[in-house]
Amino acid sequence: MGAFSDPQANILLSYGCSPVKVDNVTESIKNLNATLLDLRAQLNSSKYFAIAEQARGLEPVFAMVQCRKYLSTADCVACFDIAAKPSSRNCSADVTGGRFYYDGCFLRYESTNFYNRNQDGHYGSCGEKNTASSAYQASVESLLSDLQIASPKMPGFFATSKKEVVGETSVVYGVAQCVETISKAGCQDCLTVAYGDLQRCFSAADADGRSINPACFFRYSDTPFFADNQTTDLKPFLRNGSKSQKKVLIAGLVGGIGLLLLATVIQFLWLKLHKAPKAVPREGDILQELRGPVNYSFKELKSATKNFSEEYKLGEGGFGEVYKGVLQNERVVAVKKLAISQSHRVKAEFEKEVKIIGNVHHRNLTRLLGCCSNGPELLLVYEYMANSSLDNFLYGNLNFVRTS
């Protein structure tokens, strides 16, 4: 799709003429016209975001305009001209302000400085229901998630992107943009609210949707509204992982721990079939069971494994490496480093799963003693089994390194 000319000056929402009246109408009109002329001059010099103010006198005016950066300068100015017309604003001359939203631009003016406000009301607008497929909905969610994460990290708080729908010929297009007078954190907060507005749209199988907020704009559609050469490379700004990627990590974490639990159950059945002799629980073991999984410090486990040295390494498999460890009380344990990236949500899921598995106790089971989630690695601490039996039960002979 090549470049196209369109100011996108279809009005979305006239949020309003202020109910507050000015005292001096003549001075207010004069100051407003001066700020609008100033804004237009800035847009004509190839700017896409501008502020202007007439702060002197009894009727100050603070104004802001923002165009979508995929517009040409001419289209940006054309959108502003339509928004700035008195007939478009439809506000009486004696009010102190108003907000006017278009697909291509946004104009706002007030009698007080509003530049740093990031939650001045928000509005979600969903298109007509189009019975969008589940594949389309998934693509929308993934695209908006990436835009929500990347846009606050980008110069000008602006990003456009598109995503092909798997198994279909359709494409979803999206844009996210914050006003440039707020902070990165303010942009993140605004887009979080906007994402919630749009979630109602794509969850209802709408083919397009918009979230309109004085501090940010979020839109998706199955119809292209910017040229292909206007898309943004989001990858450098997604290195910490998108929401969709985090979901995959969490699913992998839960699945991996689930497999560990399955291996433990298999071990239990194996021992039952071989009629392992009953053992009398020691007092220390009983107290350990009553306490549940221990939350070890990373420093403690690092020391116990001699900084995870090769000398103490027992084996490795699809979910990480296992090391022998000797705790300060001289108890020998097996420490497993999970090969899973971390985030706040991943840690929460990890700790929840550890609590579940840690409550499964039997004298013939290799017990989970505890974990560590407060360091650079997610670690599981198991009861140590000599002669590599732990490794065999967890991995079979996969990538076995050494016994101890």
Residue predicted with more confidence, 376 or 398: 376
- CA separation, residue 218 to residues 29, 48, 121 (Å): 32, 17, 14
Average pLDDT of span 151-176: 94
Average pLDDT of span 71-98: 92
Q: Helices 134-150 & 184-203, crossing angle to 10 degrees?
A: 170
Q: Which residues of 178-206 are buried (b: 16+ CB within 10 A; e: fewer)?
A: bbbbbeeebbbbbbebbbebbbebbeebb
What is d(CA 97, CA 16) in angstroms, rounded to the nearest whole number? 8
- Burial (0-12, 13-18, 19+ Cβ within 10 Å), 100: buried
Name the pLDDT band for 361 (thresholds 50, 70, 90).
low
Task: Report the side by side order of strands in the sheet with 378-383.
Answer: 294-295, 368-372, 378-383, 332-338, 320-326, 313-317
HSE, CB side, 13 Å, CA atoms: give it for residue 130.
Answer: 18
Average pLDDT of span 80-86: 93
For residue 46 the two structure tokens come to 């190839």
**pTM of this structure:** 0.59
Winning range, highest mean pLDDT, from 132-141, 262-271, 382-391 = 132-141
Q: Which residue has tokens 């609210």?
A: 193
Q: How far is CA 152 from the centre of its chain?
A: 11
What is d(CA 249, CA 347) in angstroms, rounded to the nearest whole number? 11
Domains parsed from the chain with CATH numbers: 11-110 (3.30.430.20), 123-240 (3.30.430.20), 245-395 (3.30.200.20)
pLDDT at residue 393, rounded to an integer: 46
What is d(CA 234, CA 175) in angstroms, rounded to the nearest whole number? 12
Of 354, 404, 377, 361, the residue nearest 297 (C-alpha): 377
What is d(CA 176, CA 156) in angstroms, rounded to the nearest whole number? 11
For residue 38 the two structure tokens come to 């100033």
Name the pLDDT band for 354 (thresholds 50, 70, 90).
low
Write out the H or E segment, with its range, that includes residue 349: helix 344-358
Given a contact cutoff of 8 angstroms between Cβ atoms, the answer to whether 156 and 216 are in contact is: no
Q: Which residue has tokens 């949500």?
A: 345
Look at phi and psi of residue 338 and say left if phi exceeds 0, alpha if psi is from -120 to 50, else beta: beta
HSE, CB side, 13 Å, CA atoms: give it for residue 210.
Answer: 18
pLDDT at residue 294, rounded to an integer: 84
- Please, what is the average pLDDT of the chain? 79
337 is in an annotated binding site: yes
pLDDT at residue 383, rounded to an integer: 84
What is d(CA 207, CA 88) in angstroms, rounded to the nearest whole number? 28
pLDDT at residue 124, rounded to an integer: 86
pLDDT at residue 343, rounded to an integer: 55
